[in-house]
Amino acid sequence: MGDFTSLDPCVHCGFCLPACPTYLATRDEADSPRGRIVLMRALERGDLSADDPALRQHLDACLGCRGCEPACPSGVGYGRGLEEARRRIAASVGLRPLARLTLGVFGRSVAWRTAFGAGRWIRDLGLAKLLAGSGRARLGFGMLAATAPGRVRQPTLAPEAGTGPTVALFRGCVMDTLFGHVHDATRRTLAVNGYRVIEVPGQGCCGALHDHAGDQEGAARLGRANLAAIGETTDFIVVNSAGCGALLKDYGHLLGTEAARRFAGRVRDVTELLADRGPVTGGSLPLDVAYDAPCHLQHAQQVQRQPLAVLGAIPGLRVHQLPGSDRCCGSAGIYSLVEPAMSRMVLDDKIEAIRSLTPRPDFIATGNPGCLMQIGAGLMAAGLATRVAHPVELLDWSYAAGGRYR
């Protein structure tokens, strides 16, 4: 059983408040990290029970973005505390019905492959984009439409196979079914930079959504399956989804075995591997791009400069600073499903930041599927022409333009 010792350094100074998207949205102290720590301590002491409505309301409303952690001068491990609180609540009173249903789908490969396969069909027919807009249902169609490749014509040729370190591509679930073009771009760009990408069968969902919701047993079951599938056959395990990468790097804590710790030590975000090799420069791509940092890449994994190094390897690309780029977009795994009102409030702040940019960017670059879908849907709902793309997609287009592919 876990504990709340990671919260011990908290002195309730309040430096976390301006870093918390939900506090900025509501101005309610109970929706801030400081306020939620008070609630967690009450749960720990038994002053509040796991089924207390106010406790669950304010802890459920947390995005889990961990933006408070780098803002904290005392080094509070808020994420570990939230993880333990949600585990205790789930063990005591269970998950909410919608969360249980959603996690049930992600827990079975046949279920999510069927669901996302149908979604891809709707997307490719153009129906998702046609139905996108404001409102809960239309925003959902916008999220599906945002999974389409950033360019209609994708590179189809392959580079020479790399001869350097071997890399197992973590396929995941959403990425594997709705973002296959990002997987293709990952393979190509890594090969240009000397890596040998190895396909490993038998993988599934990483378990991050289960872990964030408090279902750590479900997360561990999925983690053990991935550990068995990938094993120790390659030098690195590459991930192009920030949320997946954060949990894969935490498999040692989740599973508590030496094999899991070795596995976690080999996990790298794709931008980390590319930045380690430069990366190689591509052809000119005269576009305006704003980078938005995924929370679980910047805060959880502490990967900050590498995505910018990838974008910096693209001649002609004009990279802009997005105000509040270090703040959550409101996606946060299944959060947009179970907390739609708060999710939309947080998203609206992100869209207004994009609207404020001059010149208006052609693309928002971000390295997480939930962020790509959430921001993409918000842009469509706002009637903005800006689109979304993974940083590795942009590098892939640059390599194609520069003749890096045969």
Partners of 231 in beta bridges: none
Taking Cα atoms as reference points, which of 175, 3, 190, 199 lies closest to residue 87? 3
**Does the CA dihedral 34-39-40-46 come out positive or negative?**
positive
pLDDT greater than 70 at residue 221: yes
The CATH H-level (homologous superfamily) assignment of domain 5-93 is: Alpha-helical ferredoxin (1.10.1060.10)
The CA distance from 92 to 43, in Å, is 12
**Does the CA dihedral 274-367-60-342 come out positive or negative?**
positive
User: Do the bridges between strand 363-365 and strand 288-291 make them parallel or antiparallel, or are there none, so unpaired?
Assistant: parallel
153: pLDDT confidence band, cut at 50, 70 and 90? Answer: low
Three-class SS state of 364:
strand
The CA distance from 316 to 283, in Å, is 8
Per-residue tokens: 253: 């804590």
| CA 99 to centroid of chain Cα atoms | 18
Tell me the mean pLDDT in the region 100-124: 93
Q: At which residue do the structure tokens 């089924």 appear?
A: 51
Per-domain residue ranges of the chain: 5-93, 142-149+279-401
Q: From start to end of 325-405, where are the E strands?
A: 363-365, 387-389
The CA distance from 75 to 85, in Å, is 19
pLDDT of 1:
52
pLDDT of 260:
96
Residue bearing the bigger pLDDT, 364 or 155: 364
pLDDT greater than 90 at residue 135: no
Report pLDDT digits (tens) over 181-194. 999 999 999 999 99
Q: Is 340:315 a contact under the CB 8 Å cutoff?
A: no
136: pLDDT confidence band, cut at 50, 70 and 90? Answer: confident
- At 269, phi and psi to the nearest 5? -65, 150
pLDDT of 121:
95
The CA distance from 291 to 287, in Å, is 12
The CA distance from 78 to 8, in Å, is 10
The CA distance from 268 to 239, in Å, is 6
Q: How much is the pTM?
A: 0.94
pLDDT of 152:
58
pLDDT of 198:
92
pLDDT of 138:
92
159: pLDDT confidence band, cut at 50, 70 and 90? Answer: confident
Q: How many CA atoms lie within 13 A of 365 on its CB side?
A: 24
Tell me the mean pLDDT in the region 211-231: 94
What value does the mean pLDDT of the chain take?
93
Looking at domain 142-149+279-401, does it have CATH number 3.30.1490? Answer: no
The CA distance from 400 to 380, in Å, is 28
Report pLDDT digits (tens) over 22-78. 999 999 999 999 999 999 999 999 999 999 999 999 999 999 999 999 999 999 999
Kindly give, in sequence order, each residue whose CB lies less than 8 Å from that of residue 105, ignoring residues fewer than 6 positions away. 111, 112, 115
Tell me the mean pLDDT in the region 315-326: 92
The CA distance from 62 to 81, in Å, is 12
Tell me the mean pLDDT in the region 325-341: 91
